[in-house]
Chains A and B, each alone.
Chain A
Amino acid sequence: MVGVKSVLLPATADKNSDEALVARARGGDFEAFETLFERHRNLVYRFAYQMANKRDDAEDIVQDVFVRAYQNLHRYRDEAKFTTWLLRIATNLGTDRARMFTRRNQLEQQEASGALSWMTVGTSTLDDAEQNLERDWKQNALRAGIEALPDHHRKVIVMRDIQELDYDTISSILGCTVGGAKLRVLRARRALRDRVAPLLGERQVNV
Chain B
Amino acid sequence: MNQRDHDMIVRAAYGESEPGEKAAVEALLSRDIEARELYEEYAGLQSGLRELDNVPACQLSTERLRLAVLNSQVRRPSPLRLYWGYGLAAACLAVGFVALRPQAGIQPSANTATTIVPKTTPLDVANPPVVATTTPESPTADLAHVMENGAGDKAVEAVAPPTRPRSIRHKPSALPMAKASVVEKTAVDDTNTGRSAVVGGQPATSPATDYANRDANMVVATYVPEGPVVVVQPETDPRTGAALAFESNHGSDFVFGG
Interface residues of A (CB under 8 A from B): 30, 34, 37-38, 41-42, 45-46, 49-50, 55, 58-59, 62-64, 66-67, 70-71, 123, 135, 138-139, 142-143, 146, 157, 161-164, 182, 186, 189-190, 192-193, 196-197, 200
Contacts and interface: CB of A to CB of B under 8 A. Distances in A.
Interface string B43-82: 0111011111111111110101110110010001000000
3 A-B pairs with the lowest CB-CB distances in the bound complex, closest first: A45-B58, A161-B49, A49-B55
Nearest to A201: B41
Given A66-B65, A67-B72, 5 more contacts: A37-B62, A45-B55, A146-B52, A161-B50, A197-B41
A42 B58 contact: yes
Given A45-B58, A162-B52, A196 B45 contact: yes
A63 B76 CA distance: 16
Contacts of B10: 186, 189-190
Contacts of B57: 42
B60 A55 contact: no
A143 B52 contact: yes
Interface residues of B, number: 32
A161 B42 contact: no
A142 B45 contact: yes
15 contacts: A30-B66, A34-B66, A37-B62, A55-B59, A59-B58, A62-B58, A63-B64, A63-B68, A123-B54, A139-B48, A142-B45, A162-B50, A162-B52, A186-B10, A196-B45
B11 interface: yes
A189 B10 CA distance: 8
A34 B60 CA distance: 12
Which interface residue of B58, B62, B68, B72 has the most chain A CB atoms within 10 A? B58
Given A139-B52, A193-B42, A67 B62 contact: no
Contacts of A34: 62, 65-66
